Amino acid sequence: MLFRELIILEEATSTNELLFRASLQEYPLGTALLARVQTKGRGRAQRVWESAPGGMYLSVMWETQDVQGLSLLGAHCIATMCREQWGLPAQIRWPNDVVLQGKKLAGVLPQVKFVGAVVERVVLGVGWNVGQAEQSFSSEILEQATTLSHHLAEIPDVEDLARGFLERLEAELEFFGQTGCEELCKRSEGYLEGLEEGLVGWVRHESGDKRRLGRLKGLNSAAELVFEGGEVLQHLGPQERLRFES
């Protein structure tokens, strides 16, 4: 077993920060932390991750030197669970989101800690909107977000969901170790937002600038987005977002 223990905290600042900063005596490799609430939840590019009761705020820590494709791996696990458990057509919004009908259901945040040139630990955080009350979201997030409870008759138990995610992640990591990033990318392509729909990708900067990327073609073996016409999107800057239009 890669993941040895799931620790449940009634409240945490940020489960990612706790695992990233802790000594390995306090939290050994293989620890998973689930918080019912976070007071300083963080997302990509240091954005705030709103973390009211009812959501799943989970981080897990392990050791690997293979850090490529971690966001995709996490998003792939969530999208697969949604499809297999509830038949929900969840999609991956590259690089680290899972969306349902265009609205954000979950986000993944990997952090890598080095000692010299060697990776000491990776921490993978998942924020999954499950059963938070609508009023708990700020108006800005409410417009763009959805929760599992919005799509299901019964709200899943957050602890069960976390255990299910860890099981799925463990199995995916084993497969990933054997087959590598290229295979993960192939398997994830079918989940990519914008691909089946034949949509055109744009990078939008907070300043209002936007850059047309072209029609989405898929993922290359390094988990980068490839567009017709030859554009390749390797990463998104902190003030950038990827959006698709017809």
Under the rule (CB under 6 A), what is the footprint of ligand BTN?
A: 14-16, 38, 41-44, 47, 49, 57-59, 96-97, 107-109, 125-127
Minimum CB distance to ligand BTN, residue 108 (Å): 6
Minimum CB distance to ligand BTN, residue 74 (Å): 9
Q: Which is nearer to ligand BTN, 105 or 185 (CB)?
A: 105
Q: Which is nearer to ligand BTN, 178 or 235 (CB)?
A: 235
Q: Which is nearer to ligand BTN, 126 or 219 (CB)?
A: 126
Q: Which is nearer to ligand BTN, 47 or 186 (CB)?
A: 47
Residue 126 burial (C-beta neighbours within 10 Å; 0-12, 13-18, 19+): buried
| CB within 8 Å of 27: residues ≥ 6 apart | 7, 18, 19, 33, 61
Give the CA radius of gyration of the chain.
17
Minimum CB distance to ligand BTN, residue 125 (Å): 3
β-pairing, 118-128 vs 103-115, is antiparallel
Minimum CB distance to ligand BTN, residue 179 (Å): 26
Q: How far apart are CA 235 and CA 246, in angstroms?
A: 22
Nearest residue relative to ligand BTN (C-beta):
107
Are 63 and 21 in contact, with CB atoms under 8 Å apart? no
